[in-house]
Amino acid sequence: MQQFKNAILQKLLSSIKNILSEPAHSWEERLKKVCELLQKNQSHYDWVGFYFANFDTQMLHLKAFAGTPTEHTAIPFGKGICGQVALSNASLVVPDVQAEDNYLSCGIDVRSEIVVPIFVDGRNVGQIDIDSHALDPFKPEDEVFLEEVCKIVADAYPNNSKP
């Protein structure tokens, strides 16, 4: 696990690992707890969600989130920021969503977004999606931190979980 100078980020990673190892809760319940933890502890994370891929239909499906409900519970590969990451297999930071042509609006208050893929056995099975009400709040440390979150999620990913 990556070591962060920021003690808060380090504590969050440990908490996420603990949450995801709770066998008494379903996968979706554990993911929701992770979303809530991140939203509560990172002031610029106004909406946090996990989307997972269905490769047969080429769709992403929202499995858990914290924040304002969204109508975007299923997103085609290639559509919006999340759909782009499903195809590119690379993180994407959008400092100003209004400047993005291929953006799915999740709310009038959203100003920026970061999406980081989750890889299991080398395959992009899903992603964490974070929306912020601030312009350009995501720093390189956010991306590295979220990559670590995604590694923890990937390690806990249920073998029988078909996205």
Worst-scoring range by mean pLDDT, 6-10, 114-118, 130-134? Answer: 6-10
Residue 45 token pair: 């994370």
Res. 8: pLDDT tops 90: no
Label residue 6 by pLDDT band (50, 70, 90): confident
Mean pLDDT, residues 59-67 taken together: 97
Q: What is the pLDDT of residue 68?
A: 93
Kindly report the pTM of this predicted structure: 0.93
> CA angle, corner 14, sides to 65 and 51, nearest 5?
25
Nearest to 42 by CA among 90, 6, 5: 6
Contact 159, 79 (CB under 8 A): no
Catalogue all structural domains in the chain, each as residue range(s) with its CATH number: 7-156 (3.30.450.40)
Give the residue with greater pLDDT, 4 vs 86.
86
* pLDDT tens digits, 89-112: 999 999 998 888 776 677 778 999
Q: How far apart are CA 49 and CA 127, in angstroms?
A: 8
Label residue 117 by pLDDT band (50, 70, 90): very high
